[in-house]
Structure formats: structure tokens, C-alpha cells
Chain A
Amino acid sequence: MLELDPVILSRIQFAFTITFHVIFPSFTIGLAAWLTTLEGLSMATGRPVYRRLFDFWLKIFVVAFVMGVVSGIVMAFQFGTNWSELAARTGPIQGPLLAYESFTAFLLEATFFGVMLFGRHRVPPWFYFVSCLMVAFGTSLSTFWILANNSWMQVPVGYALEGQQFVPTSWSAILTNEVLWVRFPHMLLAAYLTTAFCVAAVGAWYALRRLYAEESRVMLRMGLGLAALLIPFQLVIGHLNGEYVEKHQPSKFTAIEGRWETEQPARLLLLAWPDEAAERNSFEIGVPVLGSFFDSLTFDSKEPGIRTVAADERPPFLIPFYGFRAMVGMGLVMLFISWTGSVLVRRRRMDAGKLPPKWFLWATALSFPSGFIAVVAGWFTAEVGRQPWVVFGALRTADAVTPSLGTATALTSLLIYIGLYSIIFPAGTYYIHRTIKRGPGNEIEADESTEVKVHRRALPLGQ
């Protein structure tokens, strides 16, 4: 049984609140770009379908954005409440990076969001479009600064220790950190893919129900098309992320690989269950040589095992190992669905009046959580894999916690967040689900009791 102390409670709280938070930005970063695209298309072509889709997705965007904003405020304070030692010691570096995030991004998004929601009749169309663009730009900037901060925690550069404090010596080194420049695009693409699959899934769901044929086709084609284009880049960038881990974080790398012994050529383990006392796996399924191939692109390279890492510097085994596999698995699912979609488009199976095969529509509709799962699994791999360090190789998580924090106090705040999020998450999901059920173009004021009266604008196929 897990011993509850302020460190583990604070870790659980951080993991819980940031997992809850990251779901929304990974959705809204892409949604903001999607809405900007729709608004641009609507202005350029004047086709009403784009405007209907814009209004429809804006309603979903609102819910996700608000949940993202309020859960994000928590993040700005948790470094101090639970990790005051970290804050006091690394504040000179992490503080300015997070301050830049709030200055450049958070305010930009939150302010222009008001215009996007309520300004349609108050500002000229070009300004409205610029407001959408600002929100989309703000969300991407936000991603950059958050990744800059986290990348410094993963691979700290450009600093010197003065006493116990981490003092910046070179901001350009911190901002050109090679790790940052593979992780930032990785996250940005992940967010776009997440949204692309949500959009395509809604399109597929309508297609299965023979509803909103025109909207459904636009969503399927645009969602899957974007995904098909992005996923190869994401796989390559994902591989580059693996390379930085191998180079800078052998402890995380070997945990992801799951091999205890150094091997040459190395196997690729698909499944494993560790016996940490005996320093071996009590159960494993592996493919010979493939480990060397994926790690070094050769058939006979020597790849290190967990035993090469000092016992007190090893991260937990299960989360990085299975988190990584869940992320890659989702990537492969996305690759398969989006490329199948491209084939179907080429074979004119997605033209007006045609319906793609049912199994494909089901697969696409059910793929809506694929991006979320990949994002959360990827972050769990990165963050848990960094343990027992909070700043890799430089500051241990256990030394970073607030000294005055007691177990009961930490438990109180954790319970507050769990209680609150377990109310608002189902509620938000429910309202998004209902908006999707209502469909685009049904401008009925939200009201559960009038749900039955909603007139579905069901269009015959190929109208």
C-alpha cells in the first residue's frame, strides 16, 4: 500500500490537476485553428456550410476553453503551494518562462476569446477574423512557453548554481535547447491531431446517422485530410523525441524500453511485468533485433538495460513503459484511419451523395479519444519517466516539496480538486455531447426540457 506523505500527495495532485488541464488545451489549440480556418473559408467562399460549422464548433470550443482557463489558473499557483522549494530554487528560470506564458499567451487568448464569443455584431468581419487568429496564435504561444519550461526541467541547460538557487547564465541556451525544439512541435502536432480526429469523428457520427450530409462531408474530409498530412511528420518528430531521451535521460529511456540487461542486438519488448527486487521481468514478450532497429536504426547495436542506471535513480517501471506503448499505439491507429480516409477520397467514396463504408465510419467515430489518450499517455511517460528528479539530474522531487506542508493539508486540497473536477468534467462532457447531438444549424437556446422539440435539419444524402 502506498504510504501517504506530502510528497506523494503533492505528486498525485499535480498529476491529477495537470492531466485534467491538458485535455482542454490539447483540444482548444487545434479547435482555435480549425475555427479560424472555417471563418477564413466562410469569408473567402461565402458558402453557408462553413458558417454553420463555425457556429457549431464555437459552442463546443466555449465549454472546452472555459474549462481550460479555469483549470489552468490552478497550475500557476501549484508550483508555490506544493513545491515551494522548487519555486524558491528554480524560480529565477522557471518563473520568467511561465510569466512569458501568461503575458504573451494567456491574456491574448482570454481577451480575444470575449470578442470571438460576443463580438460578431460589434466588430467588422476582418476584425472578427483577426480575433480568431489571435486566439489561435495565443494558444500556440502558450504551448511554446509551457514546453520551454518543461523542457528545461527535462534537460536543464544555461544555468549555474549559486548556493541552492538555479541562476540563468544564458537565456538563449534555454530557449534554443534542442530538446525544446523537438518537443514543442511534437505537442503542437499532437494538439492538431487530437482536434482533427474529434472533427472527423463528429462527421463520421453524423454520416452514420444520415444527418447533416454537407457538414458531415466537410468535417470528414478536412479532419482526416489534415490528420493524414500531419501524422507522418508526427511519427518522425516522435522518433526525434526518442533520440533526445536516449541521449540525455538513460534512466527514462531504459524504463520505456523495459529491458533490464544490456542487449546486443536488443529486443523490442511489447509486454512486460517487472520484478523490481530481482531486477528482471517476471513476464515479457519481445521481438528480437527490433529494439536495436528502432533505437539506432541498425540490426546489431548494443542497447543499455535498466541495470546500467543506479537503483536510486530509476523511475517507476509501469507508467513510462505502458504509457509510451499507448501513445505509439494511438499514433498507429491515427495513421491507419487517416490514410484509409485518403484512399477513400481518391476512390471518390467521400463525394457528395456517396457514403464511405460503414466499418470505416464506425472506426472514425470511435477514434475521437485517440488524440487525448496519446497526449495524456505521452505526458505521463515524459513526467513519470523523469522521476525521481523534478529537474533532471539536478534536483530530486522529494527535496522540492513545501517544507511546511502537512499530510492532512495536502490531502484537503487534493480532495477539493477531485471533488470539484468530478462534478465539472462529466457536466462539461455532457454539454459537449448534447451540442453534438443537436447538430449544426439548430439555433435553439440550450434547454433540456425543450430537447424533444428540437427540429433536426435532416438533409437527404447528396442534396
Chain B
Amino acid sequence: METIWQFDLVHFWAAALAFSILMYVLLDGFDLGVGMLFGISGDAGLRDRMLRTIAPVWDGNETWLVVIGTVLFGAFPAVYAIFLSAFYLPVAFLLGALILRGVSMEFRGRSTRRRWFWNLGFSGGSFAAAFVQGAAVGALVKGIDVDSGQYVGGPWDWLSPFAVFCGLGLVAGYALLGASWLVMKTRGDLREWSYHWLLRLLAISIGFIAVSFVWTLLAGLNITDRWFEAPVLLAVPVVLLLTGVVGLIWSWRQRLDRLAYPMAALIFFAAFTAFLLSFWPWVLPGDLRFDQAAAPPKSLEFLFYGAGMVVLPIVVLYTVGVYWIFRGKSRPLDE
């Protein structure tokens, strides 16, 4: 019995981890995307209105990253130790970018002489954070060097043409999420501007997804074994992806403001599902499985009875609640 319960808790925490990652990507993804669109648009009026849509929610979004970090630390300490040492520099770049971006957002409104600097920090930080996250995912797909539970590669191993490509892909993807968010939250010229970018970014994102898929196949990376073992599994993400793409195009044509973000999110969900299906139950294909990396039962239980069973549902509830409070088109009164 003991082993089965342990087995279940490992599954629970792996699922909670996947859920946190998905929450982070879908939530911080759109506000990083808005940050990049902010950089693309030079218009001061549009910029202020863009920021207004994310101001109440961005730091709640960002804290899902902390949840990911601490769930890894608590439930899968071996993964936490290996990943963070392998991605030492990208993590430093990512955190640096997020810090710069967060304070810039806050400081730009308080400054005129130096506003250009904070504007640059906000959009540049958003680009950099998205790029580094994508590059790290690419590096993970390519595989990292591990020996007896420790990272043994160099500090720049993560940086490869494939990782750079994935980094750019996530930049496009987050920008797509951002555009779909703006479509939902704004009116008038900003809404039209966002629709304009929505379609372009969709085309670019599809291009990135297709090329990275082919690239992964041609490079004969470890994770493709999975695809050949059970091609049926791949059908699920493909169907989700196509639904998202069609839905997004439809919402663009019909100007259905509230459909765009869910459809863009569906595209991300599809990509994320494909990613999970390619790995599970491995963390590092061939080297480390999730159950081998898990913390002892006593740690998982302690986490489960409080954080997992009680707090996580409450967190989800009040996250939904806060989004509900700020629902609809953003209003100047919220400032």
C-alpha cells in the first residue's frame, strides 16, 4: 500500500507542477507578450492603455514562476538541482530580465526625463525573458549532460541553434498571447492594431511550430522515440492545435474579442501537451524518471495535505476571482 500511495503522490505533484507551468505560461505569457507589443508600438497613448490592461494582474502572474520553482524544490529536489545548475546563466538572464521589466513598469509612470529608459527596460526585459524561457525549453528537448545525478556540462551548453530557434519561437508565441489579450481588453484603434498583429503573429507562430517539429525529427533527438512508439498520442495535440488555429482565425474574421485569448491559449496548451507526452515519465529521457527524482514520501505527504489539497484549490479560486473583478474592457477609472 505504502508504495502505491507514494506512486500516487508523485503523480499528484507531477500534475501540480505541470498545472503551475501551464498557469505561468498562459498568464505571464500574455503580459510578457503585451510587454513586447509595447516595444513594437511607438505610440505613447497606445502604450499607456496597453499597460493598463496588465497592471492589476502581472505580479500575480509572475509569482506562478516562484510556485514552479518551489514545487520542483519541494517535490522533485533532484530535478531542481540538476536543471538550475544546467541553466545557471539562462536563469540569471531570465531573473535579471524579469526584475528589470517589473520595476520598469512601475517606474515609467513616475518619470518623464527617464521614461525612455524604463520603456526600454520594460519591453527589452519582456523580450529577453520570453527568449530565455524558449531557449531553455529547446535545450531541454536537445538534452543535457548528467552523470550520477549531477549536471556535468558547461555553462554555455544550453545555447545552440535549435535553442535560439525555440527562443525566438516563444517570443512570437507570447506576443500572440499578448495580442489576443489586448483584443479582449481594449477598444478602438488599439483593438484594431492588436487584431492586425494577432494575424501576423499567428502565421509566424505556426511557422515556428512546424519548423521546430521537423527539426526535432531530422535531428533524431531522444524524445522523438516516443512519437514513433505511439503516434496516436500525437494526434491529441495536433487536433487541439488545429482547433486553436481555426478558432483564432475565425475570431479574427468575425472580430470576436473574447474568443481570441482562449484560442491562443489552446494553441499553447496543444504545444505543452505535445511536450509532456514526449517526456513523461522521464524528466531527462533515459537518465532520470519523475518517480526517481521525487522527494521522500514524508515530504510529499506534508506538501499534499496542506499545499496540495487545501491551498492550491483556494489559490485557483481567488485567481479566478481577481480576474473576474477586473473582467471586461479595461477602464481608465482603474488607474
Contact = CB atoms under 8 A, between A and B. Distances in A.
28 contacts: A70-B98, A73-B62, A73-B66, A76-B69, A77-B69, A77-B91, A79-B73, A84-B84, A88-B80, A88-B81, A91-B77, A92-B296, A95-B77, A95-B80, A96-B303, A102-B69, A106-B67, A107-B67, A108-B315, A110-B59, A111-B60, A112-B322, A115-B325, A122-B326, A167-B298, A171-B298, A404-B86, A448-B112
Nearest to B101: A70
A81 B80 CA distance: 9
Interface stretch (A237-245, A319-327, A408-416): A408-416
Interface string A10-22: 0000000000000
Q: SS class of chain B's interface: helix, strand, loop or mixed?
A: helix
A110 B298 contact: no
Contacts of A408: 155
A171 B297 CA distance: 12
B302 A168 contact: yes
B152 interface: yes
Interface in A79-122: 79-82, 84-85, 87-88, 90-104, 106-108, 110-115, 117-119, 121-122
Most buried by A among B84, B105, B152: B84
Given A66-B105, A76-B69, A428-B107, 10 more contacts: A80-B84, A99-B70, A99-B307, A100-B303, A103-B67, A103-B70, A107-B319, A112-B318, A117-B56, A405-B85
B102 interface: yes
Contact of B107 (A99, A108, A169, A431): A431
Contacts, number: 258
A84 B72 CA distance: 13
B206 interface: no
A449 interface: yes
Contact of B84 (A77, A98, A108, A114): A77
A-B interface, 8 closest residue pairs, ranked by CB to CB distance from nearest: A91-B77, A80-B84, A95-B74, A95-B73, A99-B74, A413-B92, A114-B56, A88-B81
Interface string B297-326: 011001100110001100100110010011
B110 interface: yes
Interface in B89-135: 89, 91-93, 95-96, 98-100, 102-103, 105-107, 109-114
Nearest to B334: A118
Interface string B321-335: 010011000000111
A16 B325 CA distance: 38
A87 B315 contact: no
B264 to A, nearest CB: 22
A447 B112 CA distance: 6
A88 B95 CA distance: 22
Interface in A35-85: 62-63, 66-67, 69-74, 76-77, 79-82, 84-85
